[in-house]
Amino acid sequence: MKSSKLIVLLLMSCAAVLSGADLGNVHTVYVLPMAHGLEQYLANTLTGEHVFVIVTDPKMADAVITDHVGASLQQKLDTLLAPPPAEKPDVKEGEKVDAPKGSIMAPANKLDNPADNSNVTRSKGMVFVVGTKSRQVLWSVYDLPKDASSKELDRIASAIVSRLRKDMGLGKK
């Protein structure tokens, strides 16, 4: 009986170390908007404790931090990480020009799903670190805020970063 408990404990320890190892390659992160502005508190705590460098250009990030996964995240990453569009040749007088997407003159994209941009489908309390190249969830944690107050969001951000530091083997700050 003791040996089976020891084996389970050993396997759980190995899983924690392996998940932390994937995070070892993450140095820069882009933080996506989250419910109640939690991303602001996370960015502040992550930079204050020197866990990751926060970048404002997602193309420079090794990973993104988000509060949801799924099709809407995949679509968001495709948009954020897409290569810049190729430059179009100069338009000659009399040629038809398509309006850029998102402009008043652009046709509506009937494939866009408004629900993909909604906070309704997000799991409150979940935070994920997702690799930008692999698109794999490298780390996750669940910590549900009691309310949306600044004090509570700061507490949650500190708890999340503390757990992240532990799982990365960085120890306490």
Task: Tell me if 46 sits within 8 A of 69, measured CB to CB.
Answer: no
Task: Output the six-digit token pair for 13.
Answer: 């320890």
pLDDT in tens, the chain (173 residues): 565 555 544 444 444 444 444 788 999 999 999 999 999 999 999 999 999 999 999 999 999 999 999 999 999 999 999 888 877 666 666 666 555 554 444 444 444 444 444 443 445 889 999 999 999 999 999 999 999 999 999 999 999 999 999 999 987 66
Structural domain for 119, as ranges: 22-78+113-173
| Residue at 172 is within a domain | yes
- pLDDT for position 43: 97
Residue pair 116/71 in contact (Cβ under 8 Å)? The answer is: yes
Assess if residue 101 is contained within a domain. Answer: no
Q: Which residues are CB-contacts of 126 (< 8 A; sequence separation ≥ 6)?
A: 67, 68, 140, 141, 142
As a whole number of angstroms, the distance between CA 77 and CA 124 comes to: 20
10 domain residue, yes or no: no
Give me 148's structure tokens: 């949306």
Query: Which CATH number belongs to the domain containing residue 55 in this structure?
Result: 3.40.50
Residue 92 counted as domain residue: no
* Pairing of β 137-142 and β 53-54: unpaired
Q: Considering its fold, how many domains does the chain have in total?
A: 1
Prediction pTM value: 0.69
Question: What distance in Å separates the CA atoms of residue 32 and residue 111, rounded to the nearest whole number?
Answer: 23
> Is 106 inside any structural domain?
no
- 140 domain-assigned: yes
In a domain, 148, yes or no: yes
